């Protein structure tokens, strides 16, 4: 019978040409009907799993030979995404928001590379097939619109709301946190459609916030009945028959203790140190033998594999194993017999491991010690009763302290990197409300246990690597050379220098030396964090690739089988090797070897999910803690500098953002390599690591973010110029725009003529251009044959895409003349509707080419055109205007009148029928026409944010939005709402300012 790997191997051969199933059948010599049936089934399975691909002409090949890249999609909150290829050597691929083709964050997909930058740098591509869906459920806030609803996802990487038809509400009401099952995935401009499957409670109810995070990351809380049944079957105690029958080494007479935090309940490691007769020291690390109770293939094992690890949230733990095991028979509680896996290491005077043993054992710990008590005993701070109680252990603790210090010194000398970050612990009350944030202490006791665990992990990894048996290793690959070079350049700004090795490579020893140099300096935390960001993530692997951060050639995770699945797996391998005299039977060897890669990948992925959930919970609780501290002042350091502001970390580890728009005393440029913001006029510098005093300005419980403001920063004056400002403010100067010269044909100062010249927002050019000494004293919208100044319908073939950008941006059409304009009010954005331009992303004075700019906050669409020396601008006034192309509502600097053109009708708000308000962007009929007939479509987002126009069929887009005039047609209501909803209600921009691809 043919095997799957034979098919894949054939297709990977250099000479292979894609074959049809008949040609493959002939190649493999398949004869009987049953063989053919199995063969076709195997082809289908390989295709579904993504190992092979079927082309449009029904020929099969492997993805890499068919210009496809397989990997995991990593979406961004702005809509675009990156493909993280499974092939480590392949660079990441950028995916435009319009090329995702139903894929969502975390999906395993095939991507076709469509372009690459000069020099073979950045790759761009499009998703051609989703192999595995990562998102079957979405958690978010339910918002009802009577006959339909939207769910706004908590995960900002889900950039469009989930449409919910009325029959799928399941009783949910606005404001509730719900779990939605996705029925139809997003495609093109259509949003995803779902149904409510669980109501968590109102978003402000106690406990709902943590529950929402648990559901968001799909963390399993309750164990299945069969899992609990297996756990309940585990014994409460150990019998002598078990110990003798398994040939375990009896260590119950030794002085072995556990040392953990005060609130720890799953005690999975214990230690002892002995002074031998030859003067050497023996370190014993004894780990709970969980593998004895969790056997391979059982319900307990499958559940542990799926969970991957325990997850530690602020006020609860989601365990990998039921408490019956983790807190019971597997926990190394004091004065009871427990089964363990032991690693004993003998160190000589030079701290070289001269002998080691790994074996199964039974222990009885003497005491359940805490980090606090051990620290107090070693530093002489312990109370008399504690000193008296543990007097018989003092010699052991002193010996442990000495050994740990020497082990750490040896590790530092070989080049291990020791990041000494301050960690925090959030204290909460019975309702989960945070009451305080305290720093976690990393005392001599914590470092002692850390060194002992590291030594055991290295010893076990090296031992089984030399045995060449299937194993799981913890690997940390060398950093990317470009990132390290950038880091080296960065530290020079602080006056530090680093030397590279051969070929410019940097050894971990150089990085550790730098950490020692900055110890105790103000920049210590900042440089440490930038160094950490320049490194790769540690992960699990079936190959021993070394650990850069620890400067270790061999490293594994052996010491926590209660809370980490990889530790449990290698315990099983150790047991089997010990039972088979130091090797494995061939059949078992092959099976384990085939499983290790999958286990490593699953464990790495589950670990990342756990870290993300823990970070989300921490951000939530820190935001809650700071909620009642708005207006209070704190001192912190600049922990990160970006193009949109700088992050400040307070002494209690809370981090918040000072937005660039709130720095009102100057226009600041972001210098990425220097990690600094530098003022153009004042030359004031805000650099990473600087101390700074701030005031808490805002706390968002929706986004779990905190905004700070500088104490000495004055608010921006109304009417003043601001390079980064946006629409909605007044222009400084007597008459608005200054310096428009020339006389217009209609004799109106700075006002374009209504009529044919108004098409596409373009004024008619008169002799000598336009004249009007004061510019626009009052900016007024103009209605031309093609619509209003805010809504431009071009001739067939013209189009105006929306670009995006943050802050204060303007785009212009190719036929527009460039001008420098300073805007007045902060925090808004403007977009100019032009024809055939590129996306605008520049700030302030610099105006970039754009197919209609779009920003955040209030927006104003502007038709800008000029020819020769003639320059003019149409600025929408406050009010509504209606014309053949529709209606608009715009906010402007001037106080313009609204004008009515031909074909206008009452706004939608005046003609509401049952079903309520469809959206703030126009009538149902108008929006449906835009989808079906290629007309322009203006949408308005939440909170005054105006969505970009949607253009289909090659017609021009409108940058503005507002109430539209139209009678409701007699089309089917349900299909109409569905079509409307699938247009997406908000956050519809590309998010990266890039030019959209038209197909």
Q: What is the pLDDT of residues 755-813, one digit of tens each?
A: 343 333 344 443 433 333 333 333 333 333 333 333 333 333 333 333 333 333 333 33
What pLDDT sits at residue 922? 42
Which range, of 225-229, 333-337, 495-499, averages the lowest pLDDT?
A: 495-499
| Confidence band for 230, pLDDT divided at 50, 70 and 90 | very high
Residues 6+ apart with CB under 8 A from 998: none
In angstroms, how far is CA 85 from the centroid of its own chain?
17
Does the pLDDT at position 454 exceed 50? yes
In angstroms, how far is CA 73 from the centroid of its own chain?
11
pTM, to two decimals: 0.69
CA 164 vs CA 101, 937, 947: distances in Å: 21, 22, 21
Range 844-872 average pLDDT: 35
Q: Average pLDDT over the chain, rounded to whole?
A: 74
Does the pLDDT at position 968 exceed 50? no
Q: Out of 33-37, 247-251, 994-998, give the one with best mean pLDDT.
A: 247-251
In angstroms, how far is CA 570 from the centroid of its own chain?
31
Range 282-305 average pLDDT: 96
A 10 A CB-CB count for 314 gives: 19
What pLDDT sits at residue 930? 39
Bridge partners (DSSP) listed for residue 505? none
Range 964-980 average pLDDT: 36
Does the pLDDT at position 41 exceed 80? yes
**Cα separation of 950 and 988, whole Å?**
9
**Between 531 and 31, residue with greater pLDDT:** 531
What pLDDT sits at residue 118? 65
Max CA distance (Å), the chain: 109
Bridge partners (DSSP) listed for residue 87? none
**Cα separation of 313 and 214, whole Å?**
9
The upper half-sphere exposure of residue 659, i.e. CA atoms within 13 Å in the direction of its Cβ, equals 14
Does the pLDDT at position 247 exceed 60? yes
**Cα separation of 782 and 344, whole Å?**
86
Helix (H, G, I), strand (E, B) or coil at 814: coil
**Which tokens belong to 461?**
């990894």
**Cα separation of 41 and 44, whole Å?**
5
What pLDDT sits at residue 504? 55
A 10 A CB-CB count for 931 gives: 18
Instruction: List, for residues 525-577, the tens digit of each pLDDT value.
Output: 788 888 888 888 899 999 999 999 898 999 999 999 999 999 999 999 999 99
Helix (H, G, I), strand (E, B) or coil at 794: coil
| Confidence band for 120, pLDDT divided at 50, 70 and 90 | low
Range 214-220 average pLDDT: 91
Instruction: List, for residues 55-100, the tens digit of each pLDDT value.
Output: 777 888 888 777 788 888 989 888 899 998 887 778 889 998 888 8
**Cα separation of 389 and 86, whole Å?**
56
The kind and range of the H/E element at 818 are none
Instruction: List, for residues 622-664, the tens digit of each pLDDT value.
Output: 999 999 999 999 999 998 898 899 999 998 889 999 999 889 8
Percent of the chain whose predicted confidence (pLDDT) is above 90 = 40
Does the pLDDT at position 977 exceed 90? no
| Confidence band for 487, pLDDT divided at 50, 70 and 90 | confident
CB 755 within 8 A of CB 782: no
Residues 6+ apart with CB under 8 A from 950: 189, 930, 931, 936, 937, 939, 957, 983, 988
Does the pLDDT at position 988 exceed 50? no
CB 766 within 8 A of CB 751: no
End-to-end alpha-carbon separation of the chain, Å? Answer: 45
| Confidence band for 957, pLDDT divided at 50, 70 and 90 | very low
CB 799 within 8 A of CB 954: yes
In angstroms, how far is CA 746 from the centroid of its own chain?
56
**Between 907 and 712, residue with greater pLDDT:** 712
**Between 504 and 622, residue with greater pLDDT:** 622
Which range, of 11-15, 156-160, 210-214, 593-597, averages the lowest pLDDT?
A: 11-15
**DSSP assigned state of 576:** H
Residue with tokens 């005077």: 349
What pLDDT sits at residue 561? 96
Instruction: List, for residues 823-832, the tens digit of each pLDDT value.
Output: 333 333 333 3
**Cα separation of 755 and 782, whole Å?**
9
**DSSP assigned state of 343:** E
**Between 318 and 22, residue with greater pLDDT:** 318
What pLDDT sits at residue 146? 82
- The DSSP string of 456-481 is HHHHHHHHHHHHT----EEEBPPPPH
Range 368-396 average pLDDT: 94
Residue with tokens 């590291």: 454
**Between 504 and 328, residue with greater pLDDT:** 328
- State the pairing for strand pair 645-650/633-642: antiparallel
Which range, of 137-141, 488-492, 532-536, 964-968, averages the lowest pLDDT?
A: 964-968
Which range, of 105-119, 158-172, 350-364, 973-987, averages the lowest pLDDT?
A: 973-987
């Amino acid at each position: 019978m043919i095997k799957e790997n034979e098919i894949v191997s054939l297709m990977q051969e250099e000479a292979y040409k894609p074959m049809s199933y008949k040609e493959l059948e002939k190649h493999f010599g398949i004869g009987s009907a049953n063989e053919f049936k199995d063969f076709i089934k195997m082809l289908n399975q390989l295709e579904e799993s993504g190992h092979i691909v079927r082309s449009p002409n029904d020929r099969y090949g492997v993805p890499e030979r068919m210009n496809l890249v397989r990997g995991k999609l990593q979406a961004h909150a702005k809509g675009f995404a990156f493909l993280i290829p499974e092939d480590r050597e392949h660079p990441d691929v950028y995916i435009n928001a319009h090329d995702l083709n139903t894929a969502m964050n975390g999906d395993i997909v095939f991507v076709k590379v469509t372009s690459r930058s000069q020099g073979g740098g950045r790759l761009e591509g499009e998703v051609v097939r989703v192999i595995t869906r990562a998102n079957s459920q979405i958690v978010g806030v339910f918002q009802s619109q009577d006959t339909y609803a939207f769910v706004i996802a908590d995960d900002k990487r889900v950039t469009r709301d989930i449409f919910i038809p009325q029959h799928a509400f399941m009783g949910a009401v606005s404001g509730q946190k719900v779990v939605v099952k996705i029925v139809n995935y997003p495609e093109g401009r259509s949003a995803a459609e779902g149904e409510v499957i669980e109501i968590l409670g109102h978003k402000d109810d106690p406990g709902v916030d943590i529950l929402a995070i648990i559901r968001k990351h799909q963390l399993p809380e309750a164990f299945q009945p069969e899992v609990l049944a297996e756990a309940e079957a585990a014994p409460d105690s150990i019998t002598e028959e078990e110990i003798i029958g398994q040939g375990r080494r009896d260590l119950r007479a030794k002085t072995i203790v556990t040392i953990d935090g005060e609130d720890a309940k799953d005690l999975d490691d214990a230690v002892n140190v002995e002074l031998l007769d030859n003067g050497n020291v023996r370190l014993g690390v004894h780990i709970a033998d969980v593998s004895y109770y969790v056997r391979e293939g059982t319900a307990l094992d499958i559940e542990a594999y799926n969970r991957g690890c325990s997850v530690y949230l602020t006020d609860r733990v989601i365990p990998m194993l039921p408490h019956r095991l983790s807190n019971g028979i597997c926990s190394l509680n004091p004065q009871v017999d427990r089964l363990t896996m032991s690693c004993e290491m003998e160190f000589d005077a030079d701290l070289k491991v001269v002998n080691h043993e790994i074996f199964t054992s039974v222990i009885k710990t003497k005491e359940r010690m805490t980090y606090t008590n051990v620290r107090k005993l070693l530093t002489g701070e312990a109370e008399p009763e504690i000193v008296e109680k543990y007097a018989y252990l003092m010699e052991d603790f002193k010996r442990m302290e000495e050994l740990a210090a020497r082990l750490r010194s040896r590790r530092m000398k070989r080049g291990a990197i020791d990041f000494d970050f301050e960690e925090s612990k959030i204290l909460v009350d019975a309702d989960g409300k945070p009451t305080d944030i305290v720093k976690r202490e990393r005392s001599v006791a914590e470092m002692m246990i850390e060194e002992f665990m590291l030594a055991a992990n290295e010893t076990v990894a090296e031992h089984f690597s030399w045995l060449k048996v299937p194993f799981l290793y913890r690997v940390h690959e060398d950093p990317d050379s470009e990132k390290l070079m950038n880091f080296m350049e960065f530290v020079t700004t602080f006056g530090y220098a680093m030397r590279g090795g051969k070929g410019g490579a940097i050894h971990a020893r150089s990085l550790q030396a730098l950490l020692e140099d900055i110890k105790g300096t103000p920049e210590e935390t900042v440089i440490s964090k930038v160094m950490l960001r320049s490194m790769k993530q540690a992960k699990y692997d079936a190959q021993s690739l070394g650990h850069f951060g620890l400067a270790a050639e061999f490293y594994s995770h052996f010491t926590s089988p209660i809370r980490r699945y990889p530790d449990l797996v290698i315990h099983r391998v150790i047991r089997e090797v010990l039972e088979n005299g130091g090797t494995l039977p061939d059949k078992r060897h092959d099976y384990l070897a085939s499983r290790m890669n999958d286990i490593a990948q699953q464990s790495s992925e589950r670990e990342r999910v756990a870290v993300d959930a823990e970070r989300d919970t921490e951000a939530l609780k820190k935001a809650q803690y700071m909620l009642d501290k708005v207006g209070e002042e704190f001192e912190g350091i600049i922990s990160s500098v970006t193009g949109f502001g700088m992050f400040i970390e307070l002494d209690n580890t809370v981090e918040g953002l000072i937005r660039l728009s709130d720095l009102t005393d100057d226009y600041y440029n972001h210098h990425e390599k220097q990690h600094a913001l530098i003022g153009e006029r004042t030359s004031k510098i805000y650099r990473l690591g600087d101390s700074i005093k701030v005031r808490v300005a805002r706390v968002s419980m929706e986004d779990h973010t905190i905004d700070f403001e500088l104490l000495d920063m004055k608010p921006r004056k109304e009417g003043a110029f601001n390079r980064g400002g946006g629409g909605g403010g007044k222009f400084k100067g007597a008459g608005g725009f200054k310096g428009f010269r020339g006389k217009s044909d209609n004799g109106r100062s700075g006002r374009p003529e209504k009529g044919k010249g108004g098409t596409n927002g373009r004024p008619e050019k008169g002799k000598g251009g336009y004249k009007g000494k004061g510019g626009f004293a009052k900016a007024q919208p103009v209605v031309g044959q093609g619509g209003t100044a805010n809504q431009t319908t071009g001739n067939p073939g013209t189009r105006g895409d929306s670009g995006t950008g943050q802050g204060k941006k303007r785009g212009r059409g190719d036929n527009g003349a460039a001008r420098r304009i300073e805007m007045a009010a902060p925090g808004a954005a403007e977009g100019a509707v032009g024809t055939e331009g590129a996306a605008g992303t520049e700030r302030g004075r610099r105006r970039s080419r754009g197919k209609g700019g779009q920003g955040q906050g209030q927006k104003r669409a502007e038709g800008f055109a000029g020819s020769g020396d003639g320059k003019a601008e149409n600025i929408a006034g406050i009010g509504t205007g209606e014309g053949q192309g529709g209606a608009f509502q715009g906010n402007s600097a001037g106080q313009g009148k609204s004008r009515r053109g031909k074909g206008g009708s009452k706004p939608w708000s005046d003609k509401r029928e049952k079903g309520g308000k469809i959206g703030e962007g126009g009538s149902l009929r108008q929006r449906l026409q835009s989808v079906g007939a290629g007309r322009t479509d203006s949408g308005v987002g939440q909170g005054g944010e105006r969505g970009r126009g949607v253009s289909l069929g090659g017609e021009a887009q409108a940058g503005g939005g507002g109430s539209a005039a139209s009678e409701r047609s007699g089309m089917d209501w349900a299909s109409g709402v569905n079509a409307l909803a699938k247009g997406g209600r908000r956050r519809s921009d590309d998010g990266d300012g890039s030019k959209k691809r038209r197909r």
